[in-house]
Structure 1
Amino acid sequence: MTTDLSKSDIENADNNQESRSEEDLRESVGQIASARDAIVAQVRKRIYGQTDLIDHLLIALFARGHVLLMGVPGLAKTSLVSTLAEALDLNFNRIQFTPDLMPSDITGTDILEEDHSTGRRFFKFIKGPVFSNLLLADEINRTPPKTQAALLQAMQEYEVSAGGNTYKLERPFQVFATQNPIEQEGTYPLPEAQLDRFMFRLTVDYPNAEDEVLIVRNTTSTRREEIQPVLNAQRILELQQLVLEVPVSEEVVRYAVNLVRRTRPEDPSAPDYIREYVSWGAGPRAGQYLILGGKARAILDGRLTVSNEDIRALAAPILRHRLLVNFQAEAQGLTTDDIIARLLEEP
């Protein structure tokens, strides 16, 4: 099992880490920390509050992770992602998922064309909206599994197949998907395999009173702030590569792995309440994302050292959609967040 990193990504990181000195790494980390502040400043021109959400999206961006956003309609999820794309100077597309959406509506399709000079007919591939840098899959659970699966290859392999041909996606490529947690009629739950492709599952909450006043005041006037690009696609790819080069101690790696293993009921290290309330625990991809996310969190904070606290801070959004609680937990009102919080209380 692998994450969304290709073999060439890992080999490049290994080669660069050997040739790049610690001084160079520290300078690069300082640059990405400065870029983070500039990006947040641009996003805040249109998005009020949601500090943790913005931070997690940036962590996912630099760790090459996809994100699943859970929140009721009207909380500016689409505006947040489109504004972030502007600040990063990335191509942005949005797909509204509906029950009649077809896989070709996402990936693209072959159309028959005719050369008027020769009369020869040929098929031409018309790219779908998946060919972008940031793709917003809006209400992804409103379309059947067959169409949901059209994203799997793109999310994992950075390519799509159509008409017997394979087409590479331009990098960076990341999917930010949304789900409405309160309206389940006519929806199709995401398969576990597809859920596992998402680095984070984030909850978008209501704004506080002061932020809501700002939202209402500034969105009911002619005022619209212009967003100035801070980075571009090439620079983002370089910074994503930097994340791979950040060193991590053996202690932190073992802490992340042990945390993941303790979520599995059959593992000898699992606490009694895991065996009692959890049917399935997290797989190795969770540990990979904990380390990648910890690296990204550290350098966005201007640090070259990843700590156990970085792992703990990202445990809930990485693990909550990878644990499956049983009927006994549901009967007692226990959620995956409750179980993760209890795990983090232990040494």
Structure 2
Amino acid sequence: MTDSPDATEPSEAARHALLGVRQEVAKAVVGQEAAVSGIIIALLARGHILLEGVPGVAKTLLVRALAAALDVETKRVQFTPDLMPGDITGSVVFDTHTSEFSFRPGPVFTNLLLADEINRTPPKTQSALLEAMQERQVSVDGTSRPLPSPFLVAATQNPVEYEGTYPLPEAQLDRFLLKAVLPLPPRADELQVLARHAAGFDPQDLAAAGVSPVAGPA
């Protein structure tokens, strides 16, 4: 029994889109193909991913480049010891112009949330992500608000420096579908990174690096 053309065409289109995403990410990030695959798998499976690696292995750049290639909205939260739950989910504020309370969405209202150094914030703030990661909604002031679709949390943590960090609770670790370890690049990749920087590569300007959308939320 052979597959009909109608059955193969969508899979071929998805395969070409996946290859295109890999090529676009490679314009900004050297190597780390396993982490790219992990993020895409988590996104397609409606899960979340934990990225672990020492500073300087392009964890943040990888997520930004992937969001640019997928043409989805991304936001970054730098987790610190003084970060409050409302800083992530949003809060209800009083509007002096209308004399009414209105909801101000937090950075969690995005497609791809980069939770940078998630283990540097207290458990109370870490738990603010639990409902968002599991239910894909947040509840503020008794009202549940759905998150955009697709929605993925890509959290990073430094496995070397533990001073001033808070280990992730088991309940939150269970919310991550995958954990990808980003190793130090081999010598050949390091030389390629240096050559790119010598040629004027700016990690803050992905458009100048040629990273362009090749896929979309659909």
User: Which interval holds the TM-score relative to the shorter structure?
Assistant: over 0.9
In structure 2, the residue matched to 1:27 is: 9
Match of 2:120 in 1: 142
Question: Which structure's residues are more often strand, by fraction?
Answer: 2
Q: Could you tell me which residue of structure 1 aligns to residue 167 of structure 2? A: 189
Cα separation, 2, equivalents of 1:230 and 1:47: 16
Corresponding residue for 1:232?
A: 216
Aligned to 1:106: 88
Counterpart of 1:131? 109
The aligned counterpart of 2:157 is: 179
Q: Does 1:97 align with 2:79?
A: yes
Q: Report the AA paired with residue 42 of structure 1.
A: E
- 1:125 offset after TM fit, Å? 0.8
Contact 2:77 2:115 in 1 (8 A): yes
Identity of aligned residues (%): 50
User: Which consecutive residues of structure 1, in runs of 5 or more, have no partner in the other structure?
Assistant: 1-20, 236-347
Let me know the Cα RMSD of the aligned residues: 1.4
CA distance in 2 between partners of 1:69 and 1:80 (Å): 10
TM-score with structure 1 setting the length: 0.59
Distance 2:197 2:67 in 1: 20
* Structure with the larger helix share: 1
Tell me the residue number matched to 1:168. Answer: 146
Confirm whether residue 201 of structure 1 aligns to residue 179 of structure 2. yes
Tell me, yes or no, if structure 1 residue 84 matches structure 2 residue 62. no
Structure 1 or 2, whichever has the larger Rg, is: 1
Superimposed CA distance per residue, residues 275-320 of structure 1 (whole angstroms, 9 cap, x where no aligned partner): xxxxxxxxxxxxxxxxxxxxxxxxxxxxxxxxxxxxxxxxxxxxxx
Give the 5 Å matches for 1:317-336. none
Per-residue CA distance 1:12-68 (angstroms, 9 max, x = gap) = xxxxxxxxx865332211111111111111111111111222122222221112000
- Partner of 1:279 in structure 2? none
Aligned counterparts of 1:109 and 1:22: Cα–Cα separation in 2: 51
Count of aligned residue pairs for this structure pair: 210
1:81 positional shift: 0.2
Of residues 219-228 and 138-147 in structure 1, the stretch that sits farther from structure 2 once superposed is: 219-228
Q: Tell me the equivalent position of 2:204.
A: none
Give 1:40's aligned amino acid: R
Listed one character per residue, the Cα deviations across residues 247-282 of structure 1 (whole Å, up to 9, x for unaligned) are xxxxxxxxxxxxxxxxxxxxxxxxxxxxxxxxxxxx
C-alpha separation in 2, matches of 1:87 and 1:102: 31
For 2:197 and 2:162, the matched residues in 1 are separated by 29
Secondary structure at 1:111's aligned position in 2?
strand
| Structural mapping, 1:305-320, within 5 Å | none
CA distance in 1, matches of 2:78, 2:108: 12
- Which of 182, 189, 193 matches 1:211? 189
Answer whether contact 2:53 2:157 (CA < 8 A) is retained. yes
- Say if 2:43 and 2:151, in contact at 8 Å, map to a contact too: no
CA distance in 2, matches of 1:202, 1:167: 30
Quote how far apart the aligned CAs of 1:166 are.
1.3
Q: Give the distance between the partners of 2:8 and 2:200, measured in 1 at CA.
A: 43
